[in-house]
Chain A
Amino acid sequence: MENVSTQPSAAGGRYLGQGADIFKLALKTGFLTFITLGIYRFWAKTRVRKFIWSSTELEGTRFEYTGTGLEKFLGFLVAVVILAIYLGIIQMLLFFFGISLFREAQSDAEAIAQSFAGFITVLAVLPVIYFAVYRARRYKLARTRWRSIRFGMENAAWGYAMRALGYGFMSIISLGILMPLATFKLEKYMTDRSWFGDAKFEQHGRWTRLYGAMKHIFIGLGWLLGAAVFAAISATPLAAILGFIGCFWIIIGSVYYNVHSFRYLTANKTLGGEITFKAEPFTSTVVLTYIGGSIAIALLLGTLGAIIAASLAGPAMLAPEAMLDVGLIQFIPLLIYIIVLVVAGAMSLAMIVQPIIRHYVETLAVINTDAFGQIAQRASDEGADAEGFADALDIGGAI
């Protein structure tokens, strides 16, 4: 390398995917998913990932996603066997004990019992959800390669689920004050078990340093406090305005928290003890991409939906009122709904998801890239359920 000064070698991430390309791919795979009654969705997701991974470039080499639709399908089937039995029984027992949820509470004790029953419902599924979250990240890393070297993550999903429950509980009872603790510890748990080849990732830093990222949430809470004060001295319009500002501020503040905790956590990660990172995404870019994309999608879809609805309204009106079975009449509106959904999904990938990924990738820098040369391959990971639990519980997210 020519870089012989004390300055370490560095490289910035580049994202090269085009909006039109990912839109076409998502539309095509969405349509295939529709006509195969949902079965193609595992292949659809895999193909979109292959596109996004191969659009991401570091030091002139693109990433590769090596997962297959088939293994995702097989993993899903395994997850279904387990979840069918677990959820079927849990759901019915909870329904049986929770029937009083449908009645208005007649005493305080009953109100507490009701919220407790609701709490149990969530609690029964929550560990499985956290388990699935870790498994999904492990699968995605195990199927990511760069310069022919595999990423990977250790098998520790139940440990993650238990910690996520514990830290989540602490966040809730502290009214969110301990949220940075949960964010930091859970990210550290996952990072410290992640690998690139034979090089290990490590999360350094301190959880208290994430409070800076929370500042706009606190400011938003301040506005709400002001609203409460004015409401108490019966200045209702003023309280309403302050309340609105407070809520808005908290929503933007949450994005700010995500972006800035990501900055801090990334800047304090190391790979193999010598490679470091720097991330500088902007809250404004993320928020404006969301808003701009959403408005554009709403306008385009509104037009499309109106056209389809107008051309199909005729036959739907002929349905007689006195049918005893209504199942089949619902079919046509459902069809429109699904077409709109496929198009909307493709649009949001092209106009929201991909631009945000682009922003995150292009504001990321890797320092001391010379050290990559020494990193050796790791063994392949059979991928456990290949994200089957996440797919079955529908917690996969956009990609």
Chain B
Amino acid sequence: MRGRGRFFDGLTAAQHEVAVTLTEDGLAVKIEGPSLKAPLHWPLGDLRATQDHADPYQMILTRKAETEDESPRDPARLVIDDAEMIAWLKDSRPDLYRADVRSGTGKKILRNTGLALGAVALMLFVILPAMANTLARIIPLEREVAFGKSITGQMERFLGGTEIGDLHCNAPEGVAALQAMTATLTDGEDIGYDLNVLVFDHSMTNAFAAPGGQVVLLRGLLEDAPGPDAVAGVLAHEIAHVVYRDPTRVALRTVGSAGLLSLLIGDVTGGAVMVLLAEQVLNSSYSRDAETQADTYAIDALTRVGVSTDGFAQFFDLIKELQGDISIPEILASHPDTDGRSARSAENAATQSNTRQIITDAQWVALQSICDGRG
């Protein structure tokens, strides 16, 4: 093997025309040229080529060596344009494209990964929740209400309304029935806010609470519910979120954690899936406890006003039916397991006696048609 090349010694930018040959013992390449003070010997086992070089007819050679550089490489470079020599090197040198890493690299990766994950976990699970709780307590009421209204407004637009008020159901008798139900549930209780309970004209069987005492029921819930007691259970559950200031806390926490997660995962490619799943897991773990607490509140409230929690239990059975065979792993689900929730309410119902219906049958009919008379 012999050929010509251009050599840069890593000390100056001067170019040296060199001849490249194998040494007599066949263990190294010899680099010599008129402008080089002495021939250089690079052991064959130490030869390395630069990776992802754009020219397939050229090879840039260097040598594995302990240096201060980013990679353990000699700063000198040997440029080879000789096709035969390139072919020979590729065939005979298995380590040519090896990425040598210094000892201790593995430890460094572990240390940095640990620190980064630790810092993020500390923020996500300790500092942000603590700050969110504190901030949720000291946030001025009118700000919280304004924020909550903007959230219900966004939700309304998301559900198909073009402007705020578009989806509001307000048949007068229905509104009166809803107020009666709310008043019964909250009578004598300290809610901490002026409750604003709305019904949106949408077929989804769902309800949600937003910061500042905003509670929204969807028409689908009223239509599919087995009876007024079921709706009362759901309403009490949402009121519980209001009382515990859960929506405000979640909103504060999400803002911090969403920023952090997208920072960590960054790039959209692949990362977007991670952000989505991670946020799902995170929010779920935050919220499952809150949901259980809200269920407890709802069961207590129904029991206090003498309404059977059986309706609430039936509502969970209905949800289970609607979910069908699709089962979401508990870690991804924002709510606790539906079977368990249903069983809890049913158990409580078994201990109750002398129960009454939350509102009259006539009021229930009015509530179910609260969205009538809208275009």
Q: Is A70 an interface residue (CB 8 A)?
A: yes
Given A103-B146, A375-B13, A38:B326 Cβ within 8 A: no
Which A residues lie within 8 Å of B79 (CB)? 61
Given A80-B264, A87-B263, A92-B131, A374:B12 Cβ within 8 A: yes
- Which of the candidate stretches B22-30, B252-260, B293-301 sits at the interface with the other chain? B252-260
Q: Are A38 and B266 in contact (CB under 8 A)?
A: yes
- Residue among A84, A143, A197 making CB contact with B264, cutoff 8 Å: A84
Closest chain A residue, CB of each to CB of B258: A91
Q: Is B362 an interface residue (CB 8 A)?
A: no
Closest chain A residue, CB of each to CB of B71: A68
- Give the interface size class of chain B: 35 or more
Closest chain A residue, CB of each to CB of B204: A322
- How far, in Å, is B144 (CB) from chain A's closest CB? 8
Interface size on A, residues (CB 8 A): 87
Given A50-B53, A80-B120, A148-B9, A37:B270 Cβ within 8 A: yes
Most chain A beta-carbon neighbours within 10 Å: one of B132, B203, B271: B271
Q: Is A30 an interface residue (CB 8 A)?
A: yes
Given A61-B6, A143-B70, A55:B54 Cβ within 8 A: yes
Q: Is A211 an interface residue (CB 8 A)?
A: no
Q: Are A325 and B259 in contact (CB under 8 A)?
A: no
CA distance A95 to B128 in the complex (A): 12
Q: Are B70 and A88 in contact (CB under 8 A)?
A: no
Q: Are B105 and A70 in contact (CB under 8 A)?
A: yes
Q: Are A392 and B15 in contact (CB under 8 A)?
A: no
- Residue among B147, B204, B266 making CB contact with A394, cutoff 8 Å: B266
- How far, in Å, is B142 (CB) from chain A's closest CB? 9
Q: Are B52 and A92 in contact (CB under 8 A)?
A: no
Closest chain A residue, CB of each to CB of B151: A102
Which B residues lie within 8 Å of A335 (CB)? 273
Q: Are A47 and B51 in contact (CB under 8 A)?
A: yes
Closest chain A residue, CB of each to CB of B153: A102
Q: Are A377 and B10 in contact (CB under 8 A)?
A: yes
Q: Are A74 and B276 in contact (CB under 8 A)?
A: no
Binary interface profile of A, 327-356, with partner B (CB < 8 Å = 1, else 0)?
Answer: 110110011011001100100000000000
- How far, in Å, is B75 (CB) from chain A's closest CB? 6
- Residue among B12, B101, B328 making CB contact with A377, cutoff 8 Å: B12
Residues of B93-110 at the interface with A, using a CB-CB cut-off of 8 Å, are 99, 101, 105, 108-109
Chain A residues at the B interface, C-beta cutoff of 8 Å: 16-18, 21, 25, 30, 33-38, 41, 47, 50-52, 54-55, 61-62, 64, 66-68, 70-71, 73-74, 77-78, 80-81, 83-85, 87-89, 91-92, 95-96, 99-100, 102-103, 143, 145-150, 196-197, 320-325, 327-328, 330-331, 334-335, 337-338, 341-342, 345, 372-377, 379-380, 382-383, 391-394
